[in-house]
């Protein structure tokens, strides 16, 4: 059995409301036409059937609600998305055993209420949030109630990178070019967001909190030397702020927090990152994901099949770790 823990789906009522009530959607319609499986269930099922006993955990794709809607509209859209995702899972439990709830962080009180409703009433098995909230960092104290709620529910947070062409490659340019904001900017976003959450002491305050980092942890595994011994000298490269005591405030060596993150295998079928990722996190912290329908299912499965794992490790990545994280049993 294959549990694909990170896939994207547009429920149709939600999509219609999003288009009607939101601004700044860019080329969303064109992208939809290029990838029909993101909203057409029949097309999606045909693709899924090619891969045997294969099931998807579903979450919304971009856009980020905080960037395209007012707090009131974003909260309404999140509720609609979660209602419709739950309906889809109930209608197709053998296809979609669970969904990841959507929240809008431009109204934190409403977001926490929606977490409780989605988990308790709709059966959501976690939430998806983005690496920044309309350009504001997740480690701000105002967002902590969301992390507290997820620690209370003992369910994971899917952390998806959020970066657009407006975040430039160089200070002298008006925008990022050649989609560098996506290719390299997204792994950077993931790495910075989780680093700042760790340094803020969040995982000391909520030690059971479960974070799933997209794309095998971004840059973190490959740069373990910079993250580990390099970051131990935090503050030595900064003159206008004093960071020198920050690492000492953590209850454990800082690299341990990074190694206890969870990471998915959504690498667009690439394999070069696997040795770093598996060495850094260990197979027990890694879950299979394809990023479908934007990422390739077949190449993602084949890439992992070629990577040397024991039978027990492979089962853990493909199914067992997802069962443990979501508190479910797949049969």
- Sequence spans of domains, the chain: 2-326
Question: Tell me: the pLDDT tens digits for 311-320?
Answer: 999 999 999 9
The pLDDT value given to residue 25: 72
Which is more confidently placed, 29 or 222? Answer: 222
Question: Tell me: the pLDDT tens digits for 194-203?
Answer: 999 999 999 9
The pLDDT value given to residue 208: 94
CB 125 within 8 A of CB 89: no
Separation between Cα atoms, residue 203 and residue 8, nearest integer Å: 28
Question: Tell me: the pLDDT tens digits for 2-57?
Answer: 999 999 999 999 998 998 887 667 666 666 678 889 999 999 999 999 999 999 99
The pLDDT value given to residue 28: 66
Pick 2-326's CATH classification: 3.90.1150.10, 3.40.50.300, 3.20.20.140, 3.40.50.720.
3.20.20.140
- Structure-block tokens of residue 8: 């994207």
Question: Tell me: the pLDDT tens digits for 47-94?
Answer: 999 999 999 999 999 899 998 899 999 999 999 999 999 999 999 999
Note the pTM of the prediction, 2 decimals: 0.94
Summarize the confidence of residues 249-272 as an average pLDDT. Answer: 95
Mean pLDDT of the chain: 94
Separation between Cα atoms, residue 286 and residue 36, nearest integer Å: 29
The pLDDT value given to residue 241: 87
DSSP tag of 63: P
Separation between Cα atoms, residue 141 and residue 108, nearest integer Å: 11
């Amino acid at each position: 059995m294959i549990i694909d823990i990170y896939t994207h789906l547009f429920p149709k009522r939600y999509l219609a409301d999003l288009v009607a009530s939101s601004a700044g959607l860019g080329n969303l319609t064109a992208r939809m036409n290029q990838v029909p499986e993101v909203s057409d269930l029949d097309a999606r099922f045909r693709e899924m059937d090619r891969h045997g006993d294969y099931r998807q955990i579903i979450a919304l794709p971009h856009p980020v609600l905080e960037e395209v809607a007012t707090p009131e509209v974003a909260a309404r859209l999140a509720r609609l998305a979660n209602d419709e995702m739950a309906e889809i899972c109930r209608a197709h439990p053998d296809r979609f055993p669970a969904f990841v709830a959507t929240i809008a962080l431009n109204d934190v009180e409403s977001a926490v209420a929606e977490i409780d409703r989605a988990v308790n009433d709709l059966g959501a098995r976690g939430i998806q949030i983005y690496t920044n909230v309309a350009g504001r960092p997740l480690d701000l104290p105002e967002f902590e109630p969301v992390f507290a709620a997820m620690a209370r529910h003992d369910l994971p947070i899917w952390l998806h990178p959020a970066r657009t062409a407006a975040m430039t490659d160089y200070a002298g340019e008006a925008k990022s070019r050649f989609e560098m904001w996506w290719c390299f900017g997204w792994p950077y976003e993931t790495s910075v967001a989780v680093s700042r959450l760790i340094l803020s002491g969040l995982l000391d305050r909520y030690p059971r909190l479960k974070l799933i980092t997209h794309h095998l942890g971004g840059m973190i595994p490959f740069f373990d030397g910079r993250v580990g011994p390099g970051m131990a000298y935090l503050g030595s490269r900064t003159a206008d702020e004093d960071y020198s005591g920050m690492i000492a405030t953590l209850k454990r060596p800082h690299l341990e927090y990074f190694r206890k993150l969870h990471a998915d295998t959504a690498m667009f079928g690439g394999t070069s990152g696997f040795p770093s990722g598996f060495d850094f996190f260990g197979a027990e912290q890694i879950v299979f994901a394809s990023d479908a329908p934007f990422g390739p299912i077949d190449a993602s499965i084949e890439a992992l099949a070629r990577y040397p794992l024991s039978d027990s490790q492979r089962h853990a990545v493909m199914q067992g770790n997802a069962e443990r994280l979501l508190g479910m049993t797949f049969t």
